[in-house]
């Protein structure tokens, strides 16, 4: 990855690094949990490429607020951030006349505006502790209901339908299964049947959900990531994850992780 050219950054690249290099996601989350999961990994890779000492990151202005100053000549780290733009549309009003309106929408761009602690000087700084992830909080925030497991097939670990999930009480790896089924809900797989033209192939749905489960498990240091990794690596070897799917995977994993922790401020 060459951070001198934003057009070369692909979410599929970040996903491939996360899948093929055990420990990458956990390290990124432990350092940059305030930020979106994709940005965590992006920051980690840039630090490694440039030989920067790993540590907390913040914008130029944020470091100034914290009593630290970015050293002259330091090169900023590039992250992805949402920008609100407006699109003009034409609609027919109640009187039959056409009315032009502006509709806001989010567009994501890559910008260099963040610096590692090691790129600054000033007052001492201690990073806040990482809040614990709470399963019940996540379900509530995501609007997902857990229902009793009623499937007779004992090999089934769990299932999802609509905004509900069910986990086999004797599931071999309940955390892995929980994240996998939550992923199906958050990714919209459980409601795709009403949009036949947009339905994701079943094999890709499973790969997306397993990728989300891998990212969540490894971020939190929970068991089961190695089983996800084997499945995903096998799938990717035959069917590369599309760029759009990679974006959806990072967004879903980030949403699940953020839903389970108490937020003191907006994620970036």
96-139 pLDDT, tens per residue?
666 666 666 566 788 999 999 999 999 999 988 999 999 999 99
Average pLDDT over residues 156-166: 95
Name beta bridge partners: 86: 104
Q: Closest Cα partner for 116 from 67, 77, 80?
A: 77
At residue 264, does pLDDT exceed 80?
no
The dihedral over CA atoms of 50, 53, 56, 58, expressed in degrees to the nearest 10, equals -40
The dihedral over CA atoms of 134, 140, 141, 147, expressed in degrees to the nearest 10, equals 100
pLDDT of residue 102: 64
> Do residues 92 and 99 touch, judged by C-beta distance below 8 A?
yes
pLDDT of residue 240: 82
pLDDT digits (tens, 9 = 90+) for 56-69: 999 999 999 999 99
Q: How far is Cα 11 from Cα 255, in angstroms, rounded to an integer? A: 16
Spatial strand order of the sheet with 145-146 comes to 145-146, 164-167, 158-161
> Do residues 14 and 28 touch, judged by C-beta distance below 8 A?
no
pLDDT of residue 172: 92
197-205: list long-range contacts, CB under 8 Å, 24+ apart: 200/245, 203/235, 203/239, 204/239, 204/242, 204/245
pLDDT of residue 18: 87
| H and E: helices and strands count for the chain | 9, 8
pLDDT of residue 203: 85
Q: How far is Cα 226 from Cα 186, in angstroms, rounded to an integer? A: 22
pLDDT of residue 94: 66
Confidence of residue 152 (pLDDT cuts 50, 70, 90): confident
Residue spans per domain, the chain: 6-82+111-122, 135-259
For the chain, report the end-to-end CA distance as a whole number of angstroms.
21
Q: How far is Cα 233 from Cα 225, in angstroms, rounded to an integer? A: 12
pLDDT of residue 257: 97
Residues whose CB is less than 8 angstroms from the CB of residue 154 and which lie 6 or more positions away in sequence, other chains included: 168, 170
Out of 154-158, 178-182, 224-228, give the one with best mean pLDDT. Answer: 178-182
Q: Closest Cα partner for 62 from 52, 48, 49, 77?
A: 77
Q: How far is Cα 226 from Cα 222, in angstroms, rounded to an integer? A: 10
pTM of structure? 0.82
């Amino acid at each position: 990855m060459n951070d001198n050219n934003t057009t070369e950054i692909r979410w599929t690249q970040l996903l491939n690094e996360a899948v093929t290099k055990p420990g990458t996601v956990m390290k990124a989350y432990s350092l940059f949990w305030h930020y979106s999961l994709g940005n965590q990994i992006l920051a980690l890779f840039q630090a490694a490429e440039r030989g920067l000492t790993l540590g907390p990151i913040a914008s130029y202005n944020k470091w100034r607020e914290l009593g630290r100053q970015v050293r002259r000549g330091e090169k900023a780290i590039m992250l992805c951030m949402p920008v609100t733009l407006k699109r003009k549309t034409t609609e027919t009003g109640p009187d039959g006349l056409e009315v032009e309106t502006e509709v806001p929408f989010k567009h994501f761009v890559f910008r260099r505006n963040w610096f590692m602690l090691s790129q600054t000087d000033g007052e001492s700084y201690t990073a806040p502790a990482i809040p614990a992830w709470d399963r019940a909080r996540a379900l509530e925030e995501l609007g997902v209901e857990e229902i009793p497991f009623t499937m007779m097939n004992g090999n089934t670990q769990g299932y999802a339908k609509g905004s509900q999930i069910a986990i086999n009480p004797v599931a071999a790896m309940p955390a892995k299964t929980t994240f996998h089924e939550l992923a199906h809900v958050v990714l919209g797989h459980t409601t795709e049947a009403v949009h036949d033209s947009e339905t994701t192939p079943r094999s890709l749905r499973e790969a997306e959900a397993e990728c989300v489960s891998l990212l969540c498990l490894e971020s939190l240091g929970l068991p089961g990531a190695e089983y996800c990794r084997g499945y995903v690596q096998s799938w990717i070897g035959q069917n590369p994850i599309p760029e759009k799917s990679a974006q959806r995977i990072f967004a879903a994993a980030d949403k699940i992780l953020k839903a389970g922790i108490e937020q003191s401020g907006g994620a970036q």
